[in-house]
Amino acid sequence: MFRLLSLYLILLSTLADASELFSIETEPELGGINTESMADLCVVAGGALDYLNKGSAYDPDVIQAGVVARFDMNLARVKRTLSFVCQVIGEDELAQRQSRLGDPAFIKRHFEIIRWRPNKSQSQLYSKNKPLLQNIPDSNILLTKYYIKLAQGSVEQSRAHPHALYALPADEQGMSLEQADQNKISLIRYKLTKQQVLSGLLERKSLAKPLVWLSRDDLEDTLMQGTVKVTIDDNPVFYNVHRNNGRPYMRNVKKRDQHRYWYFKQTTSILGYGKDADYKIPIKPYVTVAGDLKHLGLGKLILLTANGESRLTVLADTGGAFENNQYQLDYLGGFFKNWDDYISVYRNFPDYFEARILMVK
């Protein structure tokens, strides 16, 4: 009974906090806005807009107004915001001058600004032994960083490259996501655990085609990051997650011990969110963030500010860690071999940012 009461109090606290997390700001302090990747910002905004234009019936969980609906803002306004961003960037490029999106006065004049403060009741549920969660300020969200994995691969299995990225098993090839969902009970993908796949079961029984062979460390990083750029005989190839085995991501479990396993698909670029590999949003480093799409809604233009500098990003990706997560975003920071490589570049990058959702007036 006491445990149930504690959970109930936590739920009440979370709901109470949620009502205070988002508020309209009229005179925010934005700092200087970085405009080095404006063309890429338009690419991501355009891709998110294309996905939203598929209509709510296609993917109702994320093609919706999200949190801004509480301010009487709808999905049409979200789409107008993304269109406006590309319009401004295009006009500024034609004029061969710095983008007006780098001018705080322009931002205040043309956008409604919604301040987002973190839901610390949620973060505390996962904060044991995690200083970044324990130290989230009241006014700033946690900004973690993800990257596009760089790996060396082989077309054949070897001692250095013993583990494969697999395409969908043969019994699912050609199935739409809807068809696959209707056949969950019989599909190989749902029957096999990550550990069974790593044991080589798929290869021994010719159940799925290996796309490329990697080291164990590179495989684990790739499963976590979702996208990998593999160099094979000096040729770069992109692979992106396709469908998983239905196991949930566990926030307090190390990556090697996770039960979720992803099957992959070869792609031509970096891809963000999409309910299936047939249609995903092209994304770019430095202008893309991942987050809780079900709560925030896909395609939000988000301004992040720390240490007197701001950067514009588009919410165009997600991950298992963002289910019921209104205290964090994940920033796409570029291409790296591993976290040590990444940390050497981003050692002094802030962990906490002021976050603002921008909606065109």
pLDDT tens digits along 20-51: 899 999 889 898 999 989 999 999 999 999 99
Phi, psi of 80, rounded to the nearest 5 degrees: -65, -35
Q: Are 297 and 255 in contact, with CB atoms under 8 Å apart?
A: no
3-state class (DSSP) for residue 133: helix
Judge whether residue 54 has pLDDT over 70.
yes
Residue type, position 264, single letter:
F
CA gap 127, 105 in Å, rounded = 38
Instruction: Tell how strand 328-336 and strand 288-290 pair up.
Output: antiparallel
CA gap 14, 286 in Å, rounded = 31
Judge whether residue 5 has pLDDT over 70.
no
Angle between helix axes 38-52 and 75-94 (nearest 10 degrees) is 150
| Residue 280: other Cβ atoms inside 10 A | 24
pLDDT bucket at 97, cuts 50 / 70 / 90: low
- DSSP state for residue 275 in the 8-state scheme: S
pLDDT digits (tens, 9 = 90+) for 155-164: 999 999 999 9
Note the pLDDT of residue 338.
Answer: 85
| Residue 167: other Cβ atoms inside 10 A | 19
Helix, strand, coil fractions of the chain, as percent rounded to 5: 35, 25, 35
Judge whether residue 260 has pLDDT over 70.
yes
Long-range pairs for 224-229: beta carbons < 8 A, 24 or more residues apart: 224/255, 225/146, 225/147, 225/148, 225/149, 226/262, 226/319, 227/148, 227/149, 227/270, 227/271, 228/148, 228/149, 228/150, 228/151, 228/165, 229/148, 229/149, 229/150, 229/151, 229/335
Please give the structure tokens belonging to residue 54.
């598929």
Q: Are 266 and 191 in contact, with CB atoms under 8 Å apart?
A: no
Return the H-helix or E-strand segment holding 12.
helix 2-18
Note the pLDDT of residue 19.
Answer: 57
pLDDT digits (tens, 9 = 90+) for 159-204: 999 999 999 999 999 898 889 988 888 999 999 989 999 999 998 8
CA gap 150, 260 in Å, rounded = 21
Note the pLDDT of residue 14.
Answer: 47
Note the pLDDT of residue 177.
Answer: 87
Among the listed residues 344, 347, 313, the one whose alpha carbon sits nearest the alpha carbon of residue 330: 313
pLDDT digits (tens, 9 = 90+) for 316-340: 999 888 989 999 999 999 999 888 8
- pTM for this prediction: 0.84
